[in-house]
Amino acid sequence: MDISVVIPLLNEEESLPELSDWICRVMEENKYSFEIVFVDDGSTDNSWQVIEDLSAKRDEIKGVRFRRNYGKSAALNTGFSHATGDVVITMDADLQDSPDEIPDLYKMIKEDGFDVVSGWKKKRYDPITKTLPTKLFNWAARRVSGIKLHDFNCGLKAYNGKVTQSIEVYGEMHRYIPIIAKWNGFTKIGEKVVQHQARKYGTTKFGMNRFINGFLDLLSITFVSKFNKKPMHFFGTMGLLFFLLGGGIALWIIGVKLYYIWSNLPVAREITQQPLFYLALVAMILGTQLFIAGWLAEMISRNSTDRNRYLIEDSINIKDRDE
């Protein structure tokens, strides 16, 4: 199959018929074999009934329904697991993403060899309360990841099928799929300016809590991706630094007192009366705790079932042991 279109949705009953007709028209004009995978993220309107009606009319239309709202990342992850196309296209269900972009996105994956192509809504029709936080978020994501994308959170993206079968999306990590792909070895990441359309039906799901969660998840994915296989490198290093700092201060304080005693000089304060001594103790205790945390994390990591999970691109003359 050429293309799988994965569409997460929440309460978008009005836009689904128009969106599916638009996608089907584009696919048929370009003679693509395709499927549309709607993932209903716990809608409380008639979205699922609409999907059932659409699926009854066309075999290419498929649907998955959650019992409750789990979030866009869970919907995308489920959609990826059910997608069978060589190229996977994701888009939002609110008609703000144009299916007319699909042929160019498909060519960038199949002909230009990109692993991921992210849409860039250069001209947006969103209010400033959404565009300004988005610009700040994209700036931070570029700084942390080194990926030069203008719009990480654009719902319209294209993926080589190998990418969607190799990554896991959870929490609020759908914003960082290009980053996840890069850290899994898929480094050819491109960008395409796409048309952004004003919302035609329903209301936006964007809120300030999603903006805050986005930055927290950026810190989380940065830490996990760099240290999930070697947590001792982080905790152990930090613990050692704190312990050496605290120990050095304590030895300096003790050394100063011994010098005063050896030189028969009056000692102004006892060691235990100096605030710096207690700061040194706190640093040593914190360093010890960090080191123990790193050691425990290392033990957990070594016993993880996917500790040696590596993504193999291809092989030559390699057979399984069971063959």
Please tell me whether residues 152 and 265 are part of one structural domain: no
Rounded to whole angstroms, the Cα distance separating 171 from 153 reads: 14
Of the chain, the percentage scoring pLDDT greater than 70 comes to 80
The pLDDT of residue 310 is 47
pLDDT of residue 46 exceeding 50, the answer is yes
Under 8 Å between Cβ of 101 and 2: no
Does residue 153 belong to any structural domain of this protein? Answer: yes
pLDDT tens figures, 170-216: 777 888 899 889 888 899 999 999 987 766 666 665 555 666 666 66
Prediction pTM value: 0.72
Please tell me whether residues 177 and 43 are part of one structural domain: yes
Does residue 322 belong to any structural domain of this protein? Answer: no
For residue 138, give every residue at least 6 positions away whose Cβ sits within 8 Å of its Cβ, in sequence order, or none. Answer: 149, 150, 151, 152, 153
Does residue 308 belong to any structural domain of this protein? Answer: no
Domain boundary among 179, 211, 227: 227
Does residue 262 belong to any structural domain of this protein? Answer: yes
Q: Tell me the average pLDDT across 147-158.
A: 90
Does residue 186 belong to any structural domain of this protein? Answer: yes
Report the CATH number that the domain containing residue 179 is assigned in CATH.
3.90.550.10
Please tell me whether residues 173 and 246 are part of one structural domain: no
Please tell me whether residues 122 and 103 are part of one structural domain: yes
The pLDDT of residue 316 is 47
Please tell me whether residues 144 and 179 are part of one structural domain: yes
Domain boundary among 205, 227, 249: 227
Q: Tell me the average pLDDT across 262-280.
A: 83
Q: Tell me the average pLDDT across 239-265.
A: 89
**Minimum mean pLDDT range among 164-168, 174-178, 198-202, 248-252:** 198-202
Please tell me whether residues 237 and 116 are part of one structural domain: no
pLDDT of residue 129 exceeding 70, the answer is no
Residue 317 confidence class, pLDDT cut points 50, 70, 90: very low
Rounded to whole angstroms, the Cα distance separating 62 from 60 reads: 6
Domain count, the chain: 2
Please tell me whether residues 265 and 293 are part of one structural domain: yes
Rounded to whole angstroms, the Cα distance separating 316 from 121 reads: 42
pLDDT of residue 37 exceeding 90, the answer is yes
Please tell me whether residues 221 and 253 are part of one structural domain: no
The pLDDT of residue 205 is 56
Please tell me whether residues 176 and 287 are part of one structural domain: no
Output the six-digit token pair for 309: 């999970």
The pLDDT of residue 312 is 47
Nearest to 22 by CA among 2, 41, 7: 7
Please tell me whether residues 101 and 237 are part of one structural domain: no
Q: Can you give the three-state secondary structure of the chain, one letter per residue? A: CCEEEEEEECCCCCCHHHHHHHHHHHHHHCCCCEEEEEEECCCCCCHHHHHHHHHHHCCCEEEEECCCCCCHHHHHHHHHHHCCCCEEEECCCCCCECHHHHHHHHHHHHCCCCCEEEEECCCCCCCHHHHHHHHHHHHHHHHHHCCCCCCCCCCCEEEEHHHHCCCCCCCCHHHHHHHHHHHCCCCCEEEEECCECCCCCCCCCCCHHHHHHHHHHHHHHHHHHHHCCCHHHHHHHHHHHHHHHHHHHHHHHHHHHHHHHHCCCCCCCCHHHCHHHHHHHHHHHHHHHHHHHHHHHHHHHHCCCCCCCCCCCCCCCCCCCCC
Does residue 147 belong to any structural domain of this protein? Answer: yes
pLDDT of residue 92 exceeding 70, the answer is yes
Please tell me whether residues 206 and 248 are part of one structural domain: no
Please tell me whether residues 206 and 79 are part of one structural domain: yes
Domain boundary among 227, 242, 274: 227
Domain span at residue 12 reads 3-227
Does residue 284 belong to any structural domain of this protein? Answer: yes
Does residue 188 belong to any structural domain of this protein? Answer: yes
Among the ranges 190-199, 269-278, 286-295, which has the highest mean pLDDT value? Answer: 286-295
